Amino acid sequence: MLYDFRSFVNPGKYAFGKGSINHLGELIDKQKNEKNNWSVFIIDNYFSGKPLMSKIPSTEDDLIIWIDTSEEPKTTFVNSYRDLILAHDSNLPATIVGIGGGTTMDYAKAVGLMVTNPGDSADFQGLDLIKNEGIYTICVPTVSGTGAEVSMTAVLSGPEKKLGIKCDYTIPNEVVFDPEILASVPTNQRFYTGMDCYIHNAESLNGTWITEMGKAFAEKSNELCKEVFLNKDMDRLVADEKMMVASIMGGNSITYAQVGVCHALSYGLAVVLKVHHGVGNCIVFNQLEKYYPNEYKEFKEMQTLHGVTIPEGITKECTETELDQMVEVSWALEHMWNNAFGPEWEKHITKDMIKDLFRKM
């Protein structure tokens, strides 16, 4: 097992349960002082004009930044949102509130750091490159599975790489979990993001870096994912509440272990074809029977039960150069391969094998 020593951080505070969103104003007010008395709301633009906005306690002093989630977070947008915030008031905001899925929460986490760390966010992609603590960040997840709400990384696509800003300060200071907000997530998206969580567990449990700590989180998360997705008739609110917990646990399982084959390949699809993380993982997992046979079987059962379509043939039109690019992106994720197969991982997987997998997607 390769296991670098690290002391992990979790969010400082959790608020959990139906109706929690109604207390967001109190949580924000607690962070205000005479000087820093305004907030930034970074919100998935799906919610613009939707009933949820009546529960968002923004005032006229605050700044709302709407996020287009059609593309995953980019360093260039992080920089421009930071500039908007600095131009809004001569004093810094008391809080940054991120309301949305993994895309929006990662923007909130990254922007909160860039406000207090001058420079281009692309220069901070990597481990422990951030110097100063960011603005107090509150995340409100609106779809469950990525674990971004509890992770120490904000995944960004920069000019050169898709890589997280990862450090102790990237963790949200506070998270508000309200399962009622998840009611409007469409079936396919709910499955794709939910399967991100299921796959986090599969990869950590089957990996060589697994510890008792990672295992405890992954096993509970896995149990919840199966309760929800192997059951067609569960009450939606009950199911969404369970998936909020599964996402927390799955996120922690990879913090204390690591992802594997599926995530390594899925990053290749994301960088070259701009495929979103959740659906990308499903497209890849659809080809991974050999590596995760038991989980593959369950994954197919869940897909069939929920009548979800997984795109196929997305690499059909790819040139050899594009396929090679995907292989290189995946191959470079050494820590994921190392977790999946151990330190001698190159004996188990070759670039040709990876390319063949991409061809089938």
> What is the closest distance, in whole angstroms, from the C-beta atom of residue 146 to Zn ion in the complex?
6
Among 155, 265, 269, 329, binds ligand NAD (CB under 6 A): 155
Binding flag, residue 106, Zn ion (CB under 5 A) = no
Among 101, 112, 158, 179, binds ligand NAD (CB under 6 A): 101
Binding flag, residue 203, Zn ion (CB under 5 A) = no
Q: Which amino acid is at 31?
A: Q
Binding flag, residue 113, ligand NAD (CB under 6 A) = no
Binding flag, residue 75, ligand NAD (CB under 6 A) = no
Q: Which amino acid is at 361?
A: M
Stretch that binds ligand NAD, among 96-104, 119-127, 217-225, 309-317 (CB under 6 A): 96-104
> What is the closest distance, in whole angstroms, from the C-beta atom of residue 155 to ligand NAD in the complex?
4
Return all residues near 78 (Cβ < 8 A) that are at least 6 apart: 107, 110, 111, 114, 121, 156
d(CA 124, CA 104): 19
Sheet holding 136-141, edge to edge: 13-16, 174-177, 136-141, 95-100, 39-44, 63-67
Binding flag, residue 178, Zn ion (CB under 5 A) = no
d(CA 307, CA 301): 10
Footprint of ligand NAD on 273-302 (CB under 6 A): 276-278
**What is the contact mask toward ligand NAD in residues 180 to 209, using x (rule: CB under 6 A)?**
-xx-xx---x---x--x-------------
Stretch that binds ligand NAD, among 14-22, 31-39, 111-119, 271-279 (CB under 6 A): 271-279
Stretch that binds Zn ion, among 91-99, 121-129, 194-202, 227-235 (CB under 5 A): 194-202
> What is the closest distance, in whole angstroms, from the C-beta atom of residue 194 to Zn ion in the complex?
11
Percent of the chain that is helix, strand, coil (3-state, to 5): 50, 10, 35
Nearer to Zn ion, 196 or 241 (CB): 196
> What is the closest distance, in whole angstroms, from the C-beta atom of residue 190 to ligand NAD in the complex?
9
**The pairing of beta strand 136-141 with beta strand 126-127:** unpaired
Binding flag, residue 244, ligand NAD (CB under 6 A) = no
d(CA 89, CA 61): 9
Stretch that binds Zn ion, among 188-196, 210-218, 282-290, 345-353 (CB under 5 A): 188-196
Sheet holding 162-166, edge to edge: 126-127, 162-166, 153-157
For residue 335, the tally of other CB atoms under 10 A from its CB is 15
Provide the CA 215 distance to its chain's centre, in angstroms. Answer: 20
Which residue in the shown chain puts its C-beta closest to Zn ion?
Answer: 196
The closest alpha carbon to 102, from 285, 247, 262, 268, belongs to 247
Nearer to ligand NAD, 37 or 79 (CB): 79
The closest alpha carbon to 72, from 335, 319, 311, 273, belongs to 273
Binding flag, residue 196, Zn ion (CB under 5 A) = yes
Q: Check: CB of residue 263 under 8 Å from CB of residue 198.
A: no
Residues in touch with ligand NAD (CB under 6 A) = 44, 46, 69, 72-73, 100-104, 106, 142-143, 146-148, 151, 153-155, 181-182, 184-185, 189, 193, 196, 276-278
